[in-house]
Structure 1
């Protein structure tokens, strides 16, 4: 028994040593992550994760057979600003569910994909400064008497929103007397609004602007009643890369490129406040 106890004791010590060594190796691996900024400068290429299903930001145009939108144009402009006129922006299509994983897996260098800056995401990625001041807003018929979130807090008002989004919780917070009717996607939501199943639809102002842009008779109203800005996301710890993004974005704002792109995609949309988006 004494010999068995001794053998077990030695085994535990060895196991502990192996575990410690593994932890140290993992730590070294974490510290040895490649510097993405140095890599993109060498290759003169940035691989961007972008959306292909969000009108005005990133959408696959059947007519043009390419991705178009504000995020697409801004990603290309930042690439040129950072890497020079020969800099190349490669576009990698992502979805809401895949955008963070493809960044963490190294499939893309950065995300320009309507990524809202949140404390939870900041644990996984490093963000640039906000490039679009998104926030929840309202879409109504142009003849509607609803002008702000305050008008929703009345008995008998029905608001349409997408299941599982922050929009549902925010409506219940800011307009507790309103009834919330939930749908699977924005298409179903807007169809219900047209059919009169609700008096307003609610989600991010930029997404609502995209719907209003292609559907006459509908306006975005009330400004934004939440603050949920979009940022460029890079992998956690790639601070040099994020700082370079910030410098490029700052230069594009100074030379007028940023405002030109904002006007290109959002000017003239009823009820959409370009100044607020740029703030």
Structure 2
């Protein structure tokens, strides 16, 4: 009887520990709500070398590195991060529907987008630039594009900016993605590609020295961390901004830029970078 009483006492003690653990949200007693199973869902691009790129089931790029750093600072391990593809046209809907917790996908902060979602950051200030073949000497800026063939992505405003402000006689070729533009440039079909400088730097790095970025950005594009617009967004933005600031101060931000543009002469515009992350606070 004494032995059975001891077992009963042990079972009661274990039950009490489990109850307290459940109340505190601590994983215990074989619970399926283990903290290891808690995920943070982050939207990124899957097709932008140097920024957000899916390769053999892994993810790499500057946006990915910043996303991981933020998630780690928020208390998540790398194993608890779930990356989801965030195409440009679906970003607002993904946040509003709760499909992702945040988005880092060359997502420029604009007044129009802020009507639908909130932002933290910026974590980078990109600038529209040009990419040419390594041996190209006749194109040193957008004003040199008259009579030249320029590639950009269908629906992009980048080519429109060039045509309206710099070179009205430029011949425009539109492609579904910047990888296709890079291929057209390598094969000589076009003379230059235009979009944000860090996107071009990633493509140049992937070309293994065959392409280069001019390095004279002529716009500013603040890349932000998109988050859902709700009662908690201000507090969430502050935590994200703190993580970005820590990444910059630690030197990890600069190392991430260098790693993801290796093999190119790309340098972020020092007039704007690294930025001050204060959006959404």
Q: Which runs of 5+ in 1 are unaligned?
A: 1-40
Residues in 1 aligned to 2:182 and 2:253: alpha-carbon distance in whole angstroms: 30
Question: Per the alignment, in what secondary structure is the counterpart of residue 172 of structure 2?
Answer: strand
**CA–CA distance in structure 1, aligned partners of residues 243 and 108 of structure 2:** 20
The residue correspondences of 1:56-205 to structure 2 (distance < 5 A) are 56-62=50-56, 65-83=57-75, 88-145=80-137, 146-152=139-145, 154=146, 156-185=147-176, 186-205=178-197
Inter-partner Cα distance in structure 1 for 2:46 and 2:199 = 13
Q: CA deviation at 1:121?
A: 0.6
User: Judging changes above 3 Å, is the alpha-carbon distance between structure 1 residues 75 and 209 closer, same or farther for their aligned structure 2 residues?
Assistant: same
Kept in 2, the 8 Å contact 1:114–1:230? The answer is yes
CA contact under 8 A between 1:149 and 1:222: conserved in structure 2? no
> How far, CA to CA, are the matches of 1:167 and 1:214 in structure 2?
21
Q: How far 1:84 moved relative to its partner?
A: 6.6
TM-score (norm 2): 0.75
- For residue 195 of structure 1, report the CA deviation from its aligned partner: 3.3
* Alpha-carbon distance change, 91 to 182 in structure 1, aligned in 2, over 3 angstroms: same
Aligned to 2:10: none
Higher helix share: 1
Deviation of 1:99 (Å)? 2.1
1:168–1:180 CA contact under 8 A, matched in 2: no
Give, in whole Å, the separation in 2 of the partners of 1:85 and 1:191: 37
Per-residue deviation, 1:157? 2.3
Residue 55 of structure 1, aligned match among 49, 59, 66: 49
TM-score, normalization by structure 1: 0.76
Partner-residue secondary structure (3-state), 1:144: coil
Confirm or deny: 8 A CA contact 2:144 2:167 kept in the other structure: no
**C-alpha RMSD over aligned residues:** 2.3
Cα separation, 2, equivalents of 1:151 and 1:49: 37
After superposition, the C-alpha distances for 1:81-129 in whole angstroms (9 at most, x for unaligned) are 1227699322222222222211110111111111111111111111112
- The separation in 2 between residues aligned to 1:76 and 1:93, in whole angstroms, is 15
Relative to 1, partners in 2 of residues 1:86 and 1:113: Cα closer, same or farther, differing over 3 Å? closer
Contact 2:186 2:210 survives alignment (8 Å): no
Count, aligned residues: 233
1:10 aligns with none
**1:273 CA drift (Å):** 1.3
Asked if 2 retains the 8 angstrom alpha-carbon contact of 1:51 and 1:113, the reply is yes
